[in-house]
Amino acid sequence: MTDSPPRTPQNGVDGSISKMLPDTYQFPTGKLKRVLSDSSKTPLVLISCGSFSPITYLHLRLFELAMDHARISTDFEVVGGYLSPVGDAYKKAGLASAEHRIRMCELAVSEDFWVDVGMVTASASEVEKRLISRLPDPWEALQKEYQPTAVVLDHFEKELNEVYGGIETYDGSRKPFHVALLAGADLIQTMSTPGVWSEQDLDHILGHYGAFVVERAGTDLEEAMSTLEKWKHNI
């Protein structure tokens, strides 16, 4: 049994995710881990939503920091990560076209494996714990209307668990993926600002899915968290 991803194309007509159209869309699974390493863990897939215009090293670094925290301090095993660029309907000033932003994300993770300092001398078991891949999903960007974050997370939940069927364990059984939002503290700060997010969406995002939040310079995470106390256990 192996957890190496199959080589079946999961992309658009020219092999590029950025060339997918709404009627040719396929949910990309080529870099998902196939088998859970530790059956006692909960398989976790991190979802990073944003404009990615352009994608930066910091966007990718958030995944690495979240994975390290999950491995050391939680009962989760990170088995994949997705970048979900917003659609053109977001109408942000200076926003590059959806096709270009998806392509930038695709290129940013084209040779994707997370490499930590000390990897060269790490044991095989340690290397296994540190290797994971990210990939862009163009679904949100392909939608004609703006999609709220709660709806985007529901899309991943459906594709990963209802359609894909969860992840296999070494005893042959399958476990459902846990989907969680990956965010910088600046996003959480907007969630704590009255009137920006609906209570219903916050409850669905933070209550049902949960979030991994990476603190950024210039944001007061403590202050933001104080108004999100209801969901603190899930952040």
Q: Residues of the chain with pLDDT > 70: what percent?
A: 84
Out of 22-31, 82-91, 137-146, least confident range: 22-31
Structure confidence by residue, pLDDT tens digits, 98-156: 999 999 999 999 877 543 333 334 444 454 445 568 899 999 999 999 999 999 999 99
* Predicted local confidence at residue 218, as pLDDT: 67
Task: Tell me the DSSP string of the chain.
Answer: ---PPP----S-TTS-GGG--TTT-----TTS-SB-S-TTSEEEEEEEEE--TT--HHHHHHHHHHHHHHHHHSSEEEEEEEEEEPPGGG--TTPPPHHHHHHHHHHHTTT-----TTGGG--HHHHHHH---EEE--HHHH-SS---HHHHHHHHHIIIIIIS--EE-TTS-EEPPEEEEEEEHHHHHHHTSTTTS-HHHHIIIIIII-EEEE--TT--HHHHHHTTGGGGGG-
Contact indicator for 69, 212 with CB cutoff of 8 Å = yes
Q: pLDDT band at 65, cuts 50/70/90?
A: very high
Average pLDDT, stretch 226-230? 91
Is the CATH number 3.40.120.10 carried by domain 42-218? no
* Predicted local confidence at residue 16, as pLDDT: 76
Quote the tokens at residue 18: 């950025």
Does 19 have pLDDT greater than 80? yes
Out of 30-34, 74-78, 92-96, 213-217, least confident range: 213-217
Q: pLDDT band at 5, cuts 50/70/90?
A: very low
Strands 174-175 and 178-184: unpaired
**Position 183: which residue type?**
A
* Predicted local confidence at residue 46, as pLDDT: 97
What does pLDDT average to over the chain? 86
Structure confidence by residue, pLDDT tens digits, 185-226: 889 889 999 999 999 999 999 999 999 999 876 677 888 788
* Predicted local confidence at residue 131, as pLDDT: 56
Domain definitions of the chain by residue range = 42-218
pTM: 0.86
* Predicted local confidence at residue 43, as pLDDT: 97
